[in-house]
Structure 1
Amino acid sequence: MSATGKPVTGPFEKTKGWLDWCDSPTKPDFVLPPGSVDSHCHVFGPGAEFPYAPERKYTPCDAGKAQLFALRDYLGFARNVIVQATCHGADNRAMVDACLASGDRVRGVATVRRTVSDDELKQLHAGGVRGVRFNFVKRLVDFTPKDELMEIAGRIQKLGWHVVIYFEAVDLPELWDFFTALPTTVVVDHMGRPDVTKPVDGREFALFLKFMRDHSNVWSKVSCPERLSVAGPPALNDERNAYRDVVPFARRVVEEFPNRVLWGTDWPHPNLKDHMPDDGLLVDFIPHIATTAALRQKLLVDNPMRLYWPEEKGA
């Protein structure tokens, strides 16, 4: 049953379990520009076909490619970028399967280990992968030596891939030297998870802006307000204006670095504990942080196409 008590049917039907995603998303008021890309989302399993990693820190409910593609079409996106979820470890099969099933409408960001062979990297590239993710959030992954990560970065640079980094704002000073030494384009997940109870002009967020300002290879996803907000779930606010405490941070990044920003739903929202967001309301968050048509075109179309589909004419 859904949260409204109605049977869960149709393209969003799911196996009920922990980390249930919203089965009845709102139709967004905001109409996405043609060709928009959901640049940060995931697939979970289904576990019977793509088992979860034994070392995982959480076990999600299944959320496969059929549900992701149904949501994409419902919200009005044209393409997806699927980021490997930590619950699958370095087994990228579910993500690659979704890429291959998409008709070139999906790109992937993989997790790989030092032991990955060059042939395996080439197979991932053929499957749609264009980046690797390095996760530094301690509650989600075990520590990987930085020399191993730097070796991986050097190898994937030859394929034209980029590195996605996931970390928390408080850890940026410790990670600064490593991040600034990476030889590829670097994409930061969710603005480095700023503490939105602190001033947008405060020292902590200023360091993140300096990181982007001083390093032209650094991009940022201005996504996941539901993870960053402390204002409470949408039910406690005006739904169309949820997550307003995140707006000044995301808007600052979009306006200062319009050619190096991306946005994504983060569907199916792994490891959330307080509330499960309505993906339609997340789309309605976009015009609050990208306030002109030109900024929204860059954020949703031009930038992701340039990074993930550069071979297409006009990208």
Structure 2
Amino acid sequence: MTDHRLLEGRIAIVTGAGRGIGRAHALELARHGARVLVNDYGVSLSGEKGDSPAHDVVAEIRAAGGEAEVNGADVADFAQAHAMVHQAIETWGGLDILVNNAGFVRDRMLVNTSEEEWDSVVRVHLKGHFAPLRHAGAWWREESKAGRRPVARVVNTSSGAGLQGSVGQATYSSAKAGIAALTLVAATELGQYGVTVNAIAPVARTRMTEGAFDTSGMALPEDNAPIVAWLASVGAGDVTGRVIEIDGSRITVENGWAHGPSHDLGRRWEAAEVGPCVRDLIAKAPAPEAVYGTQG
């Protein structure tokens, strides 16, 4: 266990914590003194149900002297997400930290993507963030109204694919972009109840990335975990509504959509007038970053 424990006595849920980045988050939070509900539904990379490795993660935490319990909820199932949140509350008497991490990929070029692939990926990533966040947020709101103001932290998981786009990952990119937007809204709405909401865009060699491109030079899952541990700490209360990319030793605060150059004509536009104006504004605006998977 670490000497400098940022999360002593705090209660956390980490979704998708059986493997990869989620596992690293759960172990790091526990090393910093958090009691961790280790959620893993037990699915393959493409979403087929299998054995959950959450028990192994819990055993590892306990062997190191920490406290942890297993949860097998499908986080995109509204009722199961509610039960997961309340398992932590009933087990340890509260909830301080929610790390939304669960997800899988079914990569396809856009014109080859099936409806089922779209629905399943958007469901587990985007709804799988919404449902636990909604139930945790409702509980924190009630606690605040009862005079027990939380010092709560949410860390969502977006991606560079959702921020800059990624060839062959239209579905995944769309879901991850939605998570970034959800983070902004939740940070604003839940701030009044003592909750901060941020997102990370992790870069790591995991099951999810190994099949997509060369990962030999990529960071390890555990390289992301210390940043999550700090964001989950009491001391991070002044940081909210941010998306932070983590690539090994480099941390980048992402700049999302913002108003750029504009021109007010003062009356309704004629269609023929639009092109010259838009091209002039584009010339004044910063060039967009290249989509992952393209040259440039």
Give the number of the structure with larger relative contact order, counting CA–CA contacts within 8 Å between residues 6 or more apart: 1
Richer in helix (by share): 2
**What range describes the TM-score normalised by the shorter chain of this pair?**
0.3 to 0.5
Taking structure 1 as the reference length, what is the TM-score of the superposition? 0.34
Q: Answer with 1 or 2: which has the greater Rg.
A: 2
